[in-house]
Every structure is written in structure tokens, then in C-alpha cells.
């Protein structure tokens, strides 16, 4: 828009300059010549048929003298009133002058002079046709269109690497690592793109190293845990309570190790599928074994399909359902709806417990953080951190709100495309 605006101003200034310094002086000179010729006609009496030079003058100059009636038959009725010429020539002739122009094969200027308002004088103007005034306008319009089109192509070519860089940066922010971007554009753009490619490769390497390190630690921890489990099996029967405690601790440690691996991996290897979120929820509820007294109510609105990593979304839902049962109430409700304005799907898992303090909601999603110790929080504190990373990798966000009637609504939004 800036380039187009500057080009438009340039064309307007050029147009005004041509009019003021070329066209207007030419018109003023033409007006002066016409007024001088009319004055000479009446000074020398060339308008009178009795003047011996009358016929010679008309033959030489092509000027004709008409009555009002004959002028109408000669083309005055099709002539156009020309205000600018009338005003200028009136000033030079010292009286009101009616000036009209008619185009066609012969371009004529019709004048009713103040010296004799009962006659019309037609003066042919050689080389002055209506089409002679249009090339300037056409030229300026063509130049303007070409300039704006060239500027648009230039800006588009300049913006293409920026748009590619923006898309790649969003992917890296979601934990995805695109192929190195091509080095194109200005030298500064090439330098920025090259730095981004190196940064992306470095982050990818760090992620790979972290996953490898986590897998190695989990492997090294599980070996001694297996030995401890075998050793506990050798305890005498009168120490069965010790054995049960050890096995319970080993199960908790294995679960924590699995969470560490899940947090590092984020299920990025899973392919996205175009599915209905409601079907994913129904499938998860159907395969979930509910404890005695637990109940899940479904309030599912019709939803459009969305590109989802099904296993990852099931993990998110499973974590929210587990937290609702553990910290909320035995009865929970899963609600889905669609916001067409923001093109997003909304899913909430609501419990009817005590809720949590508003001040603790922002820190719930930090790794190793746990909310409301009074509710008996257990585990590693990675569940919601994993949930948040999975949702954000889909381009969505987490929604945690306390309900006015009691309970917590824990959910998320996911984008969909039509």
C-alpha cells in the first residue's frame, strides 16, 4: 500500500505538471490566437460579403460566417459548450463570448462574438482532434498499472521467504521440525533464514538428545527395579506387607518413568487423522473401566471433523477424566461444542467438587507442579504438562475455569478447517 500510494502521488503530480506546464499554456496560446483572429475579422470587415477580401479570406483560412439558423444546419446543434474557452476568449474580446467545439473529421471552434451576437463564426483547427487529448491519460494510466503491478510483484517476492519463515517458526514452536528453508530473497533475508535453519537443527538435536537420555535413564532405572522386585519375592510370608509396599512403590516409579518418556516424546511421530472429536470421546469412554460409583455424562454437540493425532488426544482426555474423578467428584460431565467464529472445537470435562484456587490455575501446567495440596495430589506433576504440550502441538489451548455453582471445568480448544 505504501508503494502504491507513492506511485499514485507521483502519477498525480506528473499529470498536474503536464497540464499546468504543457497543456494549459498551449490552450492559452490557442485562445489568444482565436481572439486575435476574431478581432482582425471585425477590424478589417472580413465578415461582410461586400468586402472584396471576404471570399479570399474564407478560402484561405476555412473560416465560415453563419446566421443562427444556418449554423444549426452546419453542425452547431451537435457542438459542445466549452466553458474554459468561453471565459478566456470573453476576457480578451472584452465581452460575453459563446464558444463551442465540435469534433469529427474537421475539428471546429464555434464563436458567437460580442461584436455581433447575430452571427456564428466557425474556425477549423488543424491537428486538434478529440483523440489527441486522450494519449496522455492512457499513458499515465498504463504507467500507473505497470508500476503498481511491479511493486506488488516485488513485495510479494520479498514477503514469500518471510511467510515461509513464519510457518516454519510456528511448526518449531509446536515441536515439529520442517526441512531447511531455501536461501532466497535479499542478503539480509538469506542471513536470517540461514540462522533459523541452524537454530531449528540445533533444537531438533537437543530434543533428540533429551529423548535418548530419558530413554537411557528409564532403561537404567528399570534394571535395578526389576532386581528389587525379584528380591521382594524372596521375602518370607510373615513379611508380605513389606513385599506389597515394595511392589506398590515399584509400580509408582514405573508410572513416573513412563510419564517422563511421554513428556519428552509428545507423540510427534503419530500421524494426524481427519476425525470427529465426539467419536474419539465415545471410543475412549467405551473402552474405559469405571470404578464403582463413578459415572460420566455426555453432552456432545455436532462437530465438524478436525485433523487430530488420535492417541495424543485420547491421552489428553484420559488425563482430564482421571483428574476429575480423583480430585473432583464421582460424577463428571463431558461437554463439546463448536465456535464457528474462531473456527475451533471446545471440549470440557466438568466435575462437581471444590474446584481449585484461581491463583493456582496458571501454574498447573508447569512440569512437576501440582495444584491444591489439600486435595491429596499424588504423582509426578507431569500429567497436565504433557496434556498442555499435546493440545498446543495441535494449535489449541487449555481452558480451566471454576464454575459458579461449584466444581472445575477442565478443557481445551482445537482448531478445525472447513
DSSP for 155-175 reads HHHHHHHHHHHHHHHHHHHTT
- Give, for all 418 residues of the chain, the pLDDT tens digit: 777 777 778 878 887 887 787 777 777 888 888 888 888 888 888 888 888 888 888 888 888 999 888 888 888 888 888 788 888 888 888 888 898 888 766 788 899 998 888 899 998 876 554 444 456 677 777 777 887 788 788 888 888 888 889 888 888 877 778 888 888 877 888 899 899 999 988 888 887 777 777 777 776 777 788 888 788 888 887 888 888 888 888 887 777 777 666 666 655 567 888 999 999 999 999 888 788 889 999 999 999 999 998 888 998 999 999 999 988 999 999 999 999 998 999 999 999 988 888 888 888 877 655 554 434 444 556 778 888 888 988 889 999 999 888 889 999 999 997 6
Query: Is the CB of residue 7 less than 8 Å from the CB of residue 151?
Result: yes
Q: Are residues 19 and 36 in the same domain?
A: yes
Q: Are residues 72 and 110 in the same domain?
A: yes
Query: Is the CB of residue 31 less than 8 Å from the CB of residue 88?
Result: yes
Q: Is residue 349 included in any domain, yes or no? A: yes
- Give me the domain span that covers residue 257: 210-265
pLDDT of residue 87: 86
Query: Is the CB of residue 387 less than 8 Å from the CB of residue 320?
Result: yes
Q: Is residue 6 included in any domain, yes or no? A: no
Give the three cell numbers for residue 158.
Answer: 520479498
Q: Are residues 300 and 380 in the same domain?
A: yes
| Alpha carbon separation from 175 to 50, 265, 389 (Å, rounded) | 103, 10, 9
Q: Are residues 281 and 172 in the same domain?
A: no
Q: Under DSSP, is residue 147 helix (H, G, I), strand (E, B) or coil?
A: helix
pLDDT of residue 373: 45
Q: Are residues 285 and 409 in the same domain?
A: yes
Q: Under DSSP, is residue 412 helix (H, G, I), strand (E, B) or coil?
A: strand
Q: Is residue 3 included in any domain, yes or no? A: no
Rg, Å, the chain Cα set: 44
Q: Are residues 358 and 325 in the same domain?
A: yes
Q: Under DSSP, is residue 98 helix (H, G, I), strand (E, B) or coil?
A: strand
The pTM of the full predicted model, rounded to 2 decimals, is 0.49
Give the three cell numbers for residue 362.
Answer: 496458571
Sheet with 119-124, side-by-side order of all strands: 64-67, 119-124, 108-112, 98-102, 80-81
Query: Is the CB of residue 391 less than 8 Å from the CB of residue 320?
Result: no
Give the three cell numbers for residue 130.
Answer: 478529440
Query: Is the CB of residue 167 less than 8 Å from the CB of residue 193?
Result: no
Cα distance between residue 62 and residue 56, in whole Å: 10
Q: Is residue 4 included in any domain, yes or no? A: no
Q: Are residues 73 and 98 in the same domain?
A: yes
Q: Are residues 176 and 290 in the same domain?
A: no
pLDDT of residue 301: 94
Query: Cell 464421582 belongs to which residue?
Result: 330
Cα distance between residue 21 and residue 30, in whole Å: 15
Query: Is the CB of residue 303 less than 8 Å from the CB of residue 268?
Result: no
pLDDT of residue 413: 95
Number of domains in the chain: 4
Q: Is residue 406 included in any domain, yes or no? A: yes
Q: Are residues 155 and 237 in the same domain?
A: no
Query: Is the CB of residue 65 less than 8 Å from the CB of residue 110?
Result: no
Query: Cell 491463583 belongs to which residue?
Result: 359
* Chain center to CA of 73: 63
Query: Is the CB of residue 376 less than 8 Å from the CB of residue 325?
Result: no
Query: Is the CB of residue 165 less than 8 Å from the CB of residue 180?
Result: no
Q: Is residue 371 included in any domain, yes or no? A: yes
pLDDT of residue 279: 94
pLDDT of residue 120: 92
- DSSP-assigned letter for residue 289: -
Query: Is the CB of residue 113 less than 8 Å from the CB of residue 36?
Result: no
Q: Are residues 348 and 309 in the same domain?
A: yes
Give the three cell numbers for residue 32.
Answer: 489568444
Amino acid at each position: 500500500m505504501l508503494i502504491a500510494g507513492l506511485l499514485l502521488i507521483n502519477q498525480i503530480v506528473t499529470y498536474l505538471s503536464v497540464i499546468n506546464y504543457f497543456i494549459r499554456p498551449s490552450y492559452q496560446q490557442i485562445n489568444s490566437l482565436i481572439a486575435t483572429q476574431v478581432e482582425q475579422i471585425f477590424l478589417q470587415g472580413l465578415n461582410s460579403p461586400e468586402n472584396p477580401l471576404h471570399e479570399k479570406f474564407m478560402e484561405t483560412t476555412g473560416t465560415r460566417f453563419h446566421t443562427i439558423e444556418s449554423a444549426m444546419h452546419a453542425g452547431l446543434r451537435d457542438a459542445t459548450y466549452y466553458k474554459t474557452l468561453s471565459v478566456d476568449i470573453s476576457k480578451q474580446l472584452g465581452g460575453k463570448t459563446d464558444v463551442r467545439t465540435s469534433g469529427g473529421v474537421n475539428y471546429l471552434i464555434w464563436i458567437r462574438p460580442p461584436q455581433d451576437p447575430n452571427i456564428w463564426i466557425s474556425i477549423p483547427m488543424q491537428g486538434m482532434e478529440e483523440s489527441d487529448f486522450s494519449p496522455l491519460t492512457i499513458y499515465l494510466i498504463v504507467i500507473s498499472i505497470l508500476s503498481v503491478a511491479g511493486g506488488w510483484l516485488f513485495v510479494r517476492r520479498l514477503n514469500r521467504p518471510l511467510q515461509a519463515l513464519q510457518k516454519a517458526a510456528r511448526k518449531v514452536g509446536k515441536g515439529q521440525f520442517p526441512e531447511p528453508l531455501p536461501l532466497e530473497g535479499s542478503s539480509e533475508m538469506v542471513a536470517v533464514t540461514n540462522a533459523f535453519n541452524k537454530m531449528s537443527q540445533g533444537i531438533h538435536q537437543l530434543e533428540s538428545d533429551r529423548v535418548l537420555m530419558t530413554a537411557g535413564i528409564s532403561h537404567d532405572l528399570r534394571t535395578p527395579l526389576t532386581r528389587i522386585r525379584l528380591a521382594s519375592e524372596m521375602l518370607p510370608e510373615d513379611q508380605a506387607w513389606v513385599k506389597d509396599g515394595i511392589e506398590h512403590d515399584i509400580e509408582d516409579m514405573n508410572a513416573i518413568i513412563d510419564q517422563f518418556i511421554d513428556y519428552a516424546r509428545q507423540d510427534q511421530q503419530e500421524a494426524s487423522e481427519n476425525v470427529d472429536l465426539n467419536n474419539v470421546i465415545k471410543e475412549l469412554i467405551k473402552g474405559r473401566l469405571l470404578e464403582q460409583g463413578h459415572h460420566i455424562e455426555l453432552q456432545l454437540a455436532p462437530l465438524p471433523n478436525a485433523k487430530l493425532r488420535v492417541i495424543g488426544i485420547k491421552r489428553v482426555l484420559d488425563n482430564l477424566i482421571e483428574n476429575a474423578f480423583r480430585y473432583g467428584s464421582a460424577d463428571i460431565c463431558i461437554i463439546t461444542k463448536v465456535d464457528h467464529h474462531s473456527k475451533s472445537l471446545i471440549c470440557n470435562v466438568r466435575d462437581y467438587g471444590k474446584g481449585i484456587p484461581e491463583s493456582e490455575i496458571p501454574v498447573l501446567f508447569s512440569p512437576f507442579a501440582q495444584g491444591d495440596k489439600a486435595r491429596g495430589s499424588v504423582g509426578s506433576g507431569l500429567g497436565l504438562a504433557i496434556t498442555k504440550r499435546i493440545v498446543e502441538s495441535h494449535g489449541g489451548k487449555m481452558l480451566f475455569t471454576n464454575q459458579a455453582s461449584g466444581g472445575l471445568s477442565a478443557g481445551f480448544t482445537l482448531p478445525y478447517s472447513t
